[in-house]
Structure 1
């Protein structure tokens, strides 16, 4: 950093998988979460619609099926642990829209020496889901878990995102308008 104290702009968006909130520092997207407000740490919150516009616009396009790649700057400083940051950067850079990877494949690909069983914990702690697509990381025998969403519907959110991206075929009750009750 250049000695300027950092702050965060916080905004939200209603999506087919629930309310998404984002936190954007001067350096880029720092957090995505479900609900009213993502954790912004100890940073002061500022009102900065211009800073939020790119991120919220690209998320809107993604959920409408009009965007496959995010090109927003990411502030990696708030990813806990340097090995976790390497794994998440590897995921972000190598697992594109419409594809998936297993926990073991991501462990190998990252070159960190982190075992596959620990990758799930890193995905669960990902502060930037959707943009850093932890929903694309699967267990070798099925979907695995997903901590995104609210009210315990994480696995349904993961399934919905993977269906939107064409990784999974739509089921009779899948709707592009959102999760069905």
Structure 2
């Protein structure tokens, strides 16, 4: 495997840990989360590989970017990758339910598995798992916490700037 680089980004939703190699982003982690991924001992701290990621995230938080155009390399099972790829098709400012997401991947009975895959998304915000809500419209689990999920959805629905 290539050298893994990491850096942090101060954002309106807290400190984000970014990790990836020279080719693609592999992880965005909320440092405040109980599931936060600390940098591994063999990772190298370097902001340079993340210049474009940081530029696009900052534009997103200012309400100036609705889609991300970044090389991504999330690691997961074939099923997880299918779910994560489908998440990327949910338009900015819109939400869908876990049941709708299961239908969109062609497996309507896999609602629980879709929820687990959604919760395992290693690149939140950019792979917009925050756009998936309960079938009753309720906000459900999010690695960055429900207040963060609510903030991201409000940013997108009102197109307000968080910066």
Question: Which range, TM-score by smaller chain?
Answer: 0.7 to 0.9
Whole-angstrom distance in 1 between the partners of 2:40 and 2:45:
16
Q: Which residue of the partner structure matches residue 50 of structure 2? A: 52
Which structure 2 segments of 5+ residues have no match? Answer: none
**Aligned length, in residue pairs:** 160
Superposed, 1:130-141 pairs within 5 Å as 130-141=125-136
Return the TM-score normalized by structure 1.
0.78
Return the TM-score normalized by structure 2.
0.86
Which structure 1 segments of 5+ residues have no match? Answer: none
Q: CA deviation at 1:112?
A: 4.6
Whole-angstrom distance in 1 between the partners of 2:73 and 2:40:
13
Whole-angstrom distance in 2 between the partners of 1:40 and 1:7:
13
Note the alpha carbon deviations across 1:60-117, whole angstroms, 9 max, x for none.
Answer: 11111111110010013x1x2110111111111x112111111111111112566112
Per chain length, whose mean CA-contact separation is higher, i.e. which structure has more relative contact order (CA < 8 Å, sep 6+)? 2
Matched, 1:159 2:128: no
Q: 2:3 aligns with which of 2, 7, 13?
A: 7
Specify the structure having the higher radius of gyration (Cα): 1
Note the alpha carbon deviations across 1:130-155, whole angstroms, 9 max, x for none.
Answer: 00000001111123423332xxxx11
Q: 2:94 aligns with which of 99, 111, 136?
A: 99
RMSD: 2.4
Whole-angstrom distance in 2 between the partners of 1:20 and 1:61:
15
Shift >6 Å, 4+ stretches:
none
Q: Which residue of the partner structure matches residue 82 of structure 1? A: 78
Note the alpha carbon deviations across 1:116-136, whole angstroms, 9 max, x for none.
Answer: 122221111111100000000
- 2:130–2:142 CA contact under 8 A, matched in 1: no
- Counterpart of 1:19 in 2: which secondary structure? strand
Whole-angstrom distance in 1 between the partners of 2:114 and 2:124:
14
Note the alpha carbon deviations across 1:36-60, whole angstroms, 9 max, x for none.
Answer: 8745668x31243321111111111
Q: Which residue of the partner structure matches residue 18 of structure 1? A: 14
Whole-angstrom distance in 1 between the partners of 2:135 and 2:147:
18
